[in-house]
A and B are shown apart, each in its own frame.
Chain A
Amino acid sequence: MDAESAPAFEDACKSWVDQGVYRLVIDMSELAYVSSMGLRSFITIGKLAQEKGEHLRLCRLAGLVKQVFEITRLTSIFPIYESVESALATE
């Protein structure tokens, strides 16, 4: 997720929120790359979900993406889960 692709992710998440879907679970297992533009989108959507009383939930972080989230301490901000199922099951 780079400067070119991050806006599409952000728009898609905003569209769900606009439709009243506030519990967003992002399966990160297929995401191999994220830059600061991608992080900006995660933080933006996280704040949006929080305004609606929910949390942006992330699961299956790995490799470079996990490293970037850890370095920037976003792993302390977003709830991180081992699987989509556990993210959905948690209230």
Chain B
Amino acid sequence: MAIAAESLTLGAAIEFLKPATDFVRRGASHAGLTGERLGVVELVIEELFMNVANHAYPSSAKGCVDITWSVPKPGLLTIEITDQGTGFDPLSKEAPGLADSLDDRPIGGLGIFLVRQMTTSLEYRRDGGRNRLRFEISASSDD
């Protein structure tokens, strides 16, 4: 049983990015994450939230994002992000080229790469017409 857990449903649009990050920062505080680790949580949520806002739903449709955080034990935050948009596994994206030349660098494509680098136990599943992405962030960057 988790020490603490909360869920929130928001519109999948940029104007809800701040409520989304504020909500998850509350979970991070419960888990005892501080300093740069709070920034990591904010970064990962922005990348995944904006991924849904920009790509999950047709531009003519309004969709939602469900966010759940839980603290299974002190120092560990678990987050699940769910949407009812087009089936898409962000983890199936090929890793971006990290060439040392600016000419060879694409402008985008770093968001999911950062999420992969900064989380643990990252899992995607398509379940009942929903995309579900689950991951953990710990209080220590060494975990």
Interface residues of A (CB under 8 A from B): 2-4, 32-33, 35-37, 39-40, 43-44, 46-47, 50, 63-64, 67-68, 71-73, 76-77
Contact = CB atoms under 8 A, between A and B. Distances in A.
Interface residues of B, number: 25
Contact of B98 (A4, A47, A73): A73
Contacts of A35: 43, 46-47, 111, 114
Interface of B: 14, 17-18, 36, 39-40, 42-43, 46-47, 50, 98, 100-103, 105, 107-108, 110-111, 113-114, 117-118
Contacts of B17: 2-4
B119 to A, nearest CB: 12
Contacts, number: 64
A71 B102 contact: no
B142 to A, nearest CB: 13
8 contacts: A2-B46, A36-B111, A36-B114, A40-B108, A47-B103, A63-B36, A63-B39, A64-B36
B117 A71 contact: yes
A1 B46 CA distance: 11
Nearest to A34: B43
A83 B40 CA distance: 26
A72 B107 CA distance: 12
Contact of B102 (A33, A39, A63, A77): A77
A77 B97 CA distance: 13
A86 to B, nearest CB: 21
Contacts of B39: 32-33, 63-64
A3 B12 CA distance: 14
Given A36-B110, A71-B114, A72-B110, A4 B102 contact: no
Given A33-B43, A44-B107, 10 more contacts: A4-B18, A35-B46, A37-B50, A39-B110, A43-B105, A43-B107, A47-B107, A67-B36, A76-B100, A77-B101
